[in-house]
Structure 1
Amino acid sequence: MQQSGMTGTAVAYGRQPNPLADRERLGEMLVEKGLLRPEHRDTALSLQKRWRSRLGEIVLAHRWMTALRLYQALSEHFGLDFVDLVENPPEAPLNPDLFSACAERQVIPWRYENNRLVLAVADPGPETFTWARRTFGPEVLFVGTSKFDILWSLQLDSDFRLTHDALTLLADRAPEHSAREVITRPQLLTLYGLLTVLLVALALSPVNALIGLNVLITLGFLATFALKLVLVWYGSRRRIDIKVTEDDVASLREEDLPVYTVLVPMYREPEILPILANALRKLDYPASKLDIKLVLESDDRETIEAAKRLGLEAIFEIIRVPPSSPRTKPKACNYALRFARGQFVTIYDAEDKPEPGQLKRVVAAFAKSAPEVVCVQARLNYYNADENWLTRMFTLEYTLWFDFYLPALEYLRIPIPLGGTSNHFRIQALRSVYAWDPYNVTEDADLGVRLVQQGYRVSVVNSTTFEEANVSIPNWIRQRSRWFKGYMQTWLVHMRDPVHLYRSTGFRGFWGFQFFIGGGVLTALAAPLLWLIYALWLAAGTRAFDFLFPPALVYLSLLNLLLANGFFIYMTLVAGFKRDYFKLAPYALTVPLYWLLQSFAAYKGLWQLISRPFYWEKTNHGISKYVPAERKAALRE
């Protein structure tokens, strides 16, 4: 057999596969050649019956053989020469329309021999050969190669096109939903018109103009408060989200479970890679049906080398994303999505620890859902909740968000701004809406709104992913300012055509979007000014602001200040109790200080929207005091 390292083109390597080759004998053949231990073969055959997976995939998932030896043995078993595509790169062109099919079936055109196309295949077998002959013609020949060589070659062949599509597919095909244009001309004209009206009103009647502005802000606060009161009322009812029971999970047959793709975008995070890999290994899902993509920037050599040194199982693949602007997480995910082989796809961040049963629970949730449910959001919370004041507040905030707000939003059919991780998609639906917007820095919040506008639904499932809460205020500000900037982008994008937004989301969806997304930004920006006025009035007893507050407005403002703030403090307290975070509950009294930080982040986000709209301000992970011990434990395992 010809092995890797072949050079020149004089020798013909393409073959027709051995028609007598029997894939069922693969395990026996590997044992006969001394490549696989008999007990490993027996275990693999048992798992093959349970999981309905390829025996080779099971062997590689458990690291019982090296990938190179397995793929060489597979090639020999089917009577094919094995070629190293790194040393002997493909010369035949690949039709762009066949890229996804080739990536899924692990096939790539290699070269021509005597005017006959030779295909390199990493998964030889009757199904692959039949598909190849139907797609490329009955006269095609074959050579064997490895899955990693196929992946590498597909990237090299299609880097430019994949990068272009990752950046422009949404902007070119649905520009009305792309944040590439920060603000449209009609929106600018509207903004200029409103500013002109305000300036003219201030010139003609400054007191009435300021009172009118104050009324609008106060009503905005009141509407935002009222919406969140309704959300908490509905969200406190446990039956709202998809309840998947242990019996539901137990009823799943492992042989029927689909391939599940997991995208893990990372950038300069080598230290937490062992923790991440260990968390993903603990997922209670057939290992041979996991398609885990470590999505790394091609110039992030430190993280790439760290991944190589770990000797990860074959279920892990490295996708190297070529450099291009903007350098954002959604751009990287769009690029990697083209290589996904799963029926479902989810995203985990580098520091995530999903509950082991989450993937099965999501599969059961989709099975219990209507066909229009194309995304299931798992809840998020933090494993270092009690590390310092900031982590405590972050944990309480997320508990309120995921345990109260999001289930209620789904129940009321208000567009759900997805979290940045642990959202699970039907992959075909995700591709149909052109996936994520690479120009929006809260890409999942935007995608949640966009899915609803396309007639799809988003649900929440009773499973939690635990993350590392920010322990550093500067780091928290960087993250939160990006979120606020993204919310501003999302509001601007979906308010380009308010009539369409209203028609596609309905009355509750439209106004829910205004006051959950827009109202959150408004309150963060306006609160410091109102608090400053109140503090000056309280401290100095000045009557300088009386003209801004007629009696009716005074009562409304006091309602916002006292009742709304008191309510949010109370609900933060209740959120702590719901998750049994009894030690965190007293910190709910410090919520106003946390809101001040949010306001600072909101103004920073507004400035960056104007000056650097597509800049992705990275959040540093792995800075918790618990990380070193967890890294050591992960490396031991």
Structure 2
Amino acid sequence: MNFADGFVLALTIIFLAYFAYATPIIMVGVWRYKKHGFASEEPGEDWDPPNVSILVPVKNEEKVVGRLLDAITRLDYPRENLEVIVVEDQSKDRTLEICQGFARQYPWIKVFHRAASVGKGDALNFGFAQSTGEIIATFDADDIPEPLAITKALRYFDAKVGAVHGYHRTLNLQESIVARLAAYETFLYRLANDGKYALKLFVAFSGSNTFFRRTALEQVGLWDPNSIVEDAELAVRFARAGIPTKLAPVESWQEMPAKVTSLLKQRIRWSGGNIQTGLKHWDAWRSMSPVKAFDMEVLMMSPIMAILAFVGWALLALGVAHVGIPVAELVPLLVVMGALNIFYFGTLLTVVVAQAKTGIVSYLTLMIATYPYATLLSVANFVGLVSVLIMGRKLWLKTEKTGYVDSPTLCASLTKTRQ
């Protein structure tokens, strides 16, 4: 067996193993979604309203931060038990002015301006130091939380639960084909998370719409200011500390990247940060179950799988063109990668498209566009891998927000005044 044959065999085995690993997770997620949506379990009872602090780190977010703060002022939660800590870092636009305007109108909104920008993790730690709440919530500038977000999240806390994290829905599905593809990818990730939660595997926190018990955050040491995916890294430390977390049907609406450049910046940071986290916590098996530790490492190293997928399809394309390895020797690889594609496209068709009542033409367009989209992600993953090895925590690329929403009435319905 020469090197080329060995490489193709190794790729085939890797993809076959990944298919065997991922399929049950997705199937459980689809089954649960078909059965009861994302209401993963029955919530507990309401409890006396604890003090809740909402942390909002912002920088150059003039297009969206006012929308978020408006939504927060309309949350259905007692004002005497709520405070908002806005940490504004060195914005060059009207972000600080907009935030201060809300602070003048609502005394429970506090704005802190910092002359130096040290990253999101550091901003969250600074905000935590200013907060007083028993429960700490985090939202990004482009979020629009549902009015009952806090009330719903609190029902999933019991004496042992250290964090509750919700889901995101898309504000700008119709802005571009890039936004639509990113939204459908996010939905598949949401299905996978629900399956992993049911199977007691590792589920990472989202960067926002997450609610923490203060004492749990203090126990693990708050956010890592040196991480470029501070949310995922924090979730690993929660798991290593054995602190229970819950995935709950608490929804917040958020923007997807609408431009290729925005998507690339976001995914370069995510892929680099995930790999950084996986390497940092290589010994997670020492402090959590081996199965959960393995699942965590698979997630963190998933950018490498995307790069290998690109290599696999490139080899197949070259083989068909009679360049490189003969196509006859690539048949096993073709079968495995084809099965993966059929499975994921089938999931997309039966769940995502069916729920959205998308026509067959739109679905075919989506399917065709998936291939250049996947190629972009592979490029981003490769750049992220190389960049984080060279630059480390300096690899911070901001995802630009546009403020676009599919329907103006959507924001109105999400931020309607309490009766």
Per-residue displacement from partner, 1:576-600 (whole Å, max 9, x unpaired)? 1475463675554132222111011
**What amino acid does structure 1 have at the position aligned with 2:342?**
G
Secondary structure of the residue aligned to 1:456 is: coil
Equivalence for 1:282 = 74
Cα 1:620–1:633 change in 2 (3 A) is: farther
What is the letter of the counterpart of residue 516 of structure 1?
Answer: L
1:285 shift after superposition:
0.9
- SS state at 1:365 partner: coil
The match for 1:596 among 375, 389, 399 is 375
Moved more, 298-307 or 417-426: 298-307
Q: How far apart in 1 are the matches of 2:56 and 2:155? A: 23
Matching residue's letter, 1:377: H
Matched with 2:294 is 511
Q: Which residue of 1 aligns with 2:386?
A: 607
- Change over 3 Å in CA distance of 1:378–1:216 after alignment to 2: same
Q: Distance in 2 between matches of 1:635 and 1:356?
A: 7
- Say which of 182, 188, 191 aligns to 1:394: 182
Q: Deviations for 1:318-358, whole angstroms, at most 9, x for unmatched residues?
A: 1233526xx21111101111112111111111010111111
Q: 1:299 and 1:521, CA in 2 relative to 1: closer, same or farther beyond 3 A? A: closer
- What amino acid sits opposite 2:138 in the alignment? I
Distance 1:474 1:376, change over 3 A: same
Going from structure 1 to structure 2, the CA distance change for 1:450 and 1:216 (only over 3 Å counts) comes to farther
Of 46, 51, 64, the residue aligned with 1:272 is 64
* Structure 2 unaligned regions, length at least 5: none
Mean alpha-carbon deviation: is it higher for 623-632 or for 303-312?
Answer: 623-632
- 1:210 deviates by 4.1
Q: What aligned pairs does 1:387-466 form with structure 2 within 5 A after superposition?
A: 387-402=175-190, 404-466=191-253
Q: CA deviation at 1:626?
A: 5.8
Give the direction of change, closer, same or farther, for the CA distance of 1:510–1:223 in structure 2 (3 Å limit). farther
C-alpha separation between the residues in 1 aligned to 2:80 and 2:93?
A: 28
Q: Which residue of 2 aligns with 1:570?
A: 346
> Secondary structure at the residue paired with 2:193?
helix
**Alpha carbons of structure 1 residues 558 and 429: separation in structure 2 relative to 1, 3 Å:** same
CA distance in 2, matches of 1:631, 1:569: 31
Partner Cα separation in structure 1 for residue 322 and residue 355 of structure 2: 43
Other-structure match for 1:243: 41
**Contact conserved, 1:275 with 1:634, CA < 8 A, in 2?**
no
Is the counterpart of residue 486 in structure 1 residue 273 in structure 2?
yes
1:252 maps to a residue whose letter is D
How far apart are 1:625 and its partner, in Å? Answer: 6.5
Deviation of 1:423 after TM superposition, in Å, equals 1.5
Alignment of 1:70-85 (within 5 A): none
The runs of 5 or more residues in structure 1 that have no matched partner are 1-206
Q: Aligned ranges for residues 324-403 of structure 1 at < 5 Å?
A: 327-367=118-158, 371-402=159-190
CA contact (8 A) 1:321 1:335 kept: no
Q: Counterpart in 2 of 1:203?
A: none
* Counterpart amino acid of residue 375 in structure 1: A
**Partners of 1:417 and 1:559 in 2: how far apart?**
31
Q: Secondary structure at the match of 1:270?
A: coil
Cα distance change on mapping 1:633 and 1:358 into 2, 3 Å: closer
Are the equivalent residues in 1 in contact too, given 2:174–2:180 (CA < 8 A)? Answer: yes
Identity %: 23
1:314 correspondence with 2:93: no
Q: How far off is 1:394 after superposition?
A: 1.2
For 1:634 and 1:231, locate their aligned partners in 2 and report how far apart those are by CA, in whole Å: 32
Q: How far off its partner does 1:308 sit?
A: 2.2
Question: Which structure is richer in relative contact order (CA contacts within 8 A, separation 6 or more)?
Answer: 2
Matches within 5 A, 1:249-268: 252=46, 256-268=48-60
Q: Which of these residues, 316, 341, 345, is aligned with residue 534 of structure 1?
A: 316
Matching residue within 308, 312, 323 for 2:116: 323
Secondary structure of the 1:229 match is: helix
Root-mean-square deviation over aligned CA pairs: 2.9
Kindly state the Cα deviation for residue 524 of structure 1 after the two structures are TM-superposed: 1.5
Please give the alpha-carbon distance, in whole angstroms, between the structure 2 residues aligned to 1:585 and 1:595.
16
Question: For residues 477 and 226 of structure 1, what CA distance do their matches in structure 2 show?
Answer: 29
CA distance in 2, matches of 1:243, 1:210: 49
What do the CA deviations read for 1:219-263 (whole angstroms, capped 9, x no partner)? Answer: 222222222211112212437864346xx6xx526xx11011111
The CA distance in 2 between the partners of 1:322 and 1:434, in whole Å, is 25
Q: CA deviation at 1:414?
A: 2.0
* Structure 1 position 452, deviation (Å): 0.8
1:391 deviation in Å? 1.2
Amino acid at match of 2:108: I
Q: What SS class does the counterpart of residue 307 from structure 2 fall into?
A: helix
State the alpha-carbon separation in 1 of the partners of residues 101 and 73 from structure 2.
Answer: 17
Aligned length: 408
CA distance in 2, matches of 1:634, 1:465: 9
* Rg larger in structure: 1
1:524 is aligned to 306
Query: Is contact 1:485–1:602 with CA below 8 Å preserved after alignment?
Result: yes
